[in-house]
Amino acid sequence: MQIPAMRLFFLVTFLLLVFLALPGAATEIRRAKACKEAHGVCRLARCMHYPWERIGICGDKRLCCIRKTAK
């Protein structure tokens, strides 16, 4: 009976983490859209500290927006 209980615990924990991460991703997408509308081209900036850091934990400087230049 121990194995099913542990599986259930890990499943519930995983689902909780997924649901906690979803609002942050939605906010990031909205911020990217607003930034693109204001400045033109929008790309996600890489973290300056460590190459293994993900964009989600970089603080407020996650989006790097560049103005479109006429060619």
Closest CA to 28 of 55, 46, 68, 54: 55
Q: Give the pLDDT confidence score for residue 30 in this predicted structure.
A: 76
Q: Give the pLDDT confidence score for residue 16 in this predicted structure.
A: 84
> How far apart (Å, rounded) are the C-alpha atoms in residues 43 and 4?
44
pLDDT at 15 over 70: yes
Which residues have CB under 8 Å from 53's CB, separation 6+? 47
pLDDT at 62 over 80: no
pLDDT at 26 over 60: yes
User: How far is C-alpha 43 from the chain's CA centre?
Assistant: 13
The pair of three-digit structure tokens given for residue 56, joined into one six-digit string? 């989600």
Q: Is the Cβ–Cβ distance between 62 and 45 less than 8 Å?
A: yes
